[in-house]
C-alpha cells in the first residue's frame, strides 16, 4: 500500500466544472484536472448546481451543498474517485427525478 506524503498542504483557489472535467486551481500554481465521470453527482448536476461550490476550511476540500458532494484535495492528488456506492448513487439519482410536492 502506498501512502501519500505531502510537502505542504494543498489549498484550493478556484474550481471550474465543465461537461467533461473538474478543474481545481491550487494556491501554489498547480492545476488538477480530472474526468467528471469520477464524480457521478457532478456529472448529473445542472450547470447551476455545478457552479454552486464552496471551499471548506483553509482550502482542504470543495463542497457542493446542493448535491451533498464533498471532494478532498488530498484525494484528488492521490487520484481517488468518488467512493459512493452504486446503490447510494442510484437512490440519490431517483430523488432528483421525483417531482416536488
User: What residue spans define the domains of the chain?
Assistant: 12-96
- The CATH superfamily of 12-96 is Uncharacterised protein PF10387, DUF2442 (3.30.2020.40)
Nearest partner of 85 among 31, 41, 22, 46, judged by Cα: 41
Q: What is the tens place of the pLDDT at every residue in 48-99?
A: 999 999 999 989 999 999 999 999 999 999 999 999 999 999 999 998 875 5
Kindly give the residue spans of alpha helices, DSSP state H, lying in the chain.
40-43, 47-51, 73-78, 86-96
**Backbone φ and ψ of 36, nearest 5°:** -65, -25
What SS3 state is found at 36? helix
Gap between the Cα atoms of 12 and 38, Å rounded = 19
Q: What is the pTM of this model?
A: 0.84
pLDDT category at 1 given cuts 50, 70, 90 is: low
Amino acid at each position: 500500500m502506498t501512502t501519500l506524503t505531502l510537502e505542504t498542504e494543498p489549498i484550493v483557489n478556484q474550481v471550474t466544472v465543465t461537461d467533461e472535467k473538474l478543474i481545481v486551481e491550487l494556491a501554489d500554481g498547480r492545476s488538477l484536472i480530472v474526468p467528471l465521470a469520477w464524480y457521478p453527482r457532478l456529472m448529473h448536476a445542472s450547470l447551476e448546481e455545478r457552479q454552486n461550490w464552496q471551499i471548506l476550511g483553509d482550502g482542504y476540500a470543495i463542497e457542493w451543498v446542493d448535491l451533498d458532494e464533498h471532494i478532498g484535495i488530498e484525494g484528488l492528488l492521490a487520484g481517488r474517485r468518488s467512493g459512493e456506492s452504486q446503490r447510494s448513487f442510484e437512490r440519490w439519482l431517483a430523488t432528483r427525478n421525483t417531482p416536488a410536492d
